[in-house]
Every structure is written in C-alpha cells, then in structure tokens.
Amino acid sequence: MGRRVYLDHHATTPVDPRVVEIMLPYFTEKFGNPASRQHHWGWEAEQAVERARRQVAGLIGARPEEIVFTSGATESCNLAIKGAAEACAGRGDHLITVATEHRAVLDCCRRLERRGVRVSLLGVDRDGLVDLVEIERAITPRTFLISVMYANNEIGVIQPVREIGRIARERGVFFHCDATQAVGRIPVDVEADCIDLLSFSAHKMYGPKGVGALYVRSRNPRVGIVPQMDGGGHERGLRSGTLNVPGIVGFGEACAIAQREMAEEAARLRRLRDRLLERLLGELELVRVNGSMERRLPGNLSLSFAGVDAAGLMRELREIALSSGSACSSAEEGPSHVLRALGLDEATARSTIRIGLGRFNTEEEIEYAAGRLVEAVRRLRELSPVYALLKERLEAGQST
C-alpha cells in the first residue's frame, strides 16, 4: 500500500511507547492482585494502582479517592447515569441530555425511559452548541441529573461546560459529563467546571484499551451512586471485579504525560489542523466545516465535500485512516445522529468525513494527506452527476 497516515485519533490512539514501557513489568514480574493484601506481590500491585489513581486524579483536578477505575468510558457512563438514577429514585425521575451525545449516554437514557424516567433531549444550534437558556428551562423540581459531553466525538465541538455546571449547581442538580474526547487533549478541571460525575478512557489519550475511570464527587456536594456490578466490593464498592493493573498503570502514565505536554501538543495539533484546512479550502470549492471552529478540539475537523460520497472517498484513500463518524456507531444505517442534529440534509451528511490528528502525526503526513484528499475529491467529482448540477447552480448564482 505504500505510505500510510493515521488520522482517526477520535476512534482510538496508539499507545505511547513511554506508557508501554511503564506497563510491561506488571504483566510478568509484578503480576500481583491488588486485593491480595497478605503478601508482597499484592502490596506492590496495590501501590502501583494508588500511584496511578493519583496521576489520573491530578489531570482533572480531583482527589484520588474520587476516581473509580472501570473498563472504559462506556462503562463509566453507564455507572454514572444508571447509578445516579437509582440513587435519586426517591426524589427525582427526570434527566436532561443533548441530541449529540455519544451512544453510551443516549442508550442509557433510553434504557431508563423504559423504567419510567422522563428524559428531556435538547437540540443544538448549527455550530453544535446547546443553548444554556434551554437547559435552565428544562430543569424541573424532579430533575436529578444533567448529562452533557465535554467535546463531541464527531465534530469536536466543546460545549460551555463550566456554565452548564454552574446552572446545575445553583439548581441542586447533579452534572455528569462524558469527557472521553476532552481529557488529555484540553484542560479539564472538575472543581472549576462544577462537574459531579465525569467519564473518560485511557485509549483516547495514548493509553491502553480496556481501562477507564469515573470521577465521583465526594464533597460539596457528595454524590451517591448505586453500583451496577456486584462481586467483591472493589473500588470502594462501586465497581466490583479484579483490577486491570497493567492497564491502570498505563492509564496513570498517559495522564502524567498529558499533564506535562498538553499545552504544547495542543498548539502543534492546531497548527497542523489549520494547515490541512487551509489547503483543502484553498484547492477545493464547496467544502463545508461542520460545527464551531472557535470552540473545537485542537486536532479535529468535520468536513463535508459537496457531490462526494464519504464512503467512496474513503475507499479512494485506503492508505489514510479517516472515518465518517463515531467508531462506536459504525453499524448505524443512514447519516450520523450528530450530523442530523446539526440540521444537515442527508446528502451533506453522507458527504462528511471526520479527521482526527494526533501526537505522532508529522507536517509531512499532513501535506501528503491534504494532497491525496484534493486529488480524490476532484476525481470523484468528475464522475458525479450530482456535483455537475451543484456547480452549474453555483456558477449561475455567481453570474447574477
């Protein structure tokens, strides 16, 4: 295939070699179970887990005892939303969320609806942002939870999380935030943002797959959730099951690296992203950027190429990893629910690709990817009767 370029970092990221190096001893030499408190092997594993817990907590401004290790962000979202619903059942039966949330949140809400919980599903504007006034209006005396993601996994749009957190705090409602795409990429501070429950995952930030965390606020206010997995009372009774020690150690190191390097990395990715966008907009016409450019993750682009089918475009570019949407929703038929929520018509949604730049991408790769995208879009448009009609209309409009 020749040169290959990975631009799908919202689906997953490669594990940083520094993370792998830290993890390796915990597969062989330091293989103990942290719940085995009668011998050295268990103590060693427990110490490693608690060190990682401090590293994870430090990245988001939390206390170590507020971190619950899980198998990933999907489990964390399930534990947060379902756990809060059960804990608050006596005083509330209403939750608020947004149409552009990840399926891990939306499907939890649908499950709860079947159990009698009322769900308010708020829309977004053409930039992908939720209206703060709508959130305030949606709150009722029976609202127990607001769940809004920090940064969208398809269009990269960053919600006004701090303002949402303040509204929730003032109204006495718990605030859950799916921050899977945000943690490690942009600063997240659970105290400043007034977040009560926060879900995130290691594999989106150059750590291993199969490990994530849920932040559960322990004071001002203390948040209670009901465990969704019973077994041995691990993780302070909130998540039973033998801990994935190598994964947790890697998660901790990935967080430590992100804390040190995030600002510099974000600036570099923003420059690469803007260069890629500059070339595409300069060399192609009828290209649409989906979502706000001002409130966007540094390495994200969501682009629609009029007259081009995204699936066909990706087949033309097999050496470049791109996607048409969330990896977790790849089995969906029809356009992405996120793009539909932005008001895109079906043709525009089907012409959309998601680009996610990451830590190990180079300037040379971006230039190569830009050239190949331009080449492939031009080729497909030459074969497209739809694009010919669009261009005729565009030229007719310009001539008048």
Instruction: Provide the annotated active-site residues.
Output: 328
Between vectors from CA 264 to CA 259 and to CA 270, what angle results, nearest 5°? 120
Write b or e for each residue in 265-275: b if 16 or more Cβ atoms lie within 10 A of its Cβ, otherwise e. bbebbbebbee
Distance CA 82, CA 78 (A): 6
Which residue has tokens 């009774």?
237
Backbone angle region of 362, left / alpha / beta, with phi > 0 → left and psi within -120 to 50 → alpha: beta
Which DSSP category does 355 fall into?
E
What is the CB-side half-sphere exposure of residue 193 using CA atoms within 13 A? 23
Extended strands (E) in 269-328 = 287-289, 300-305, 320-321
Which DSSP category does 185 fall into?
T
Distance CA 289, CA 277 (A): 9
Strand 67-70, strand 212-216: pairing: antiparallel
Assigned token pair, 181: 């795409």
Q: Could you give the 3-state DSSP secondary structure of residue 229?
A: coil
Assigned token pair, 314: 């990706």
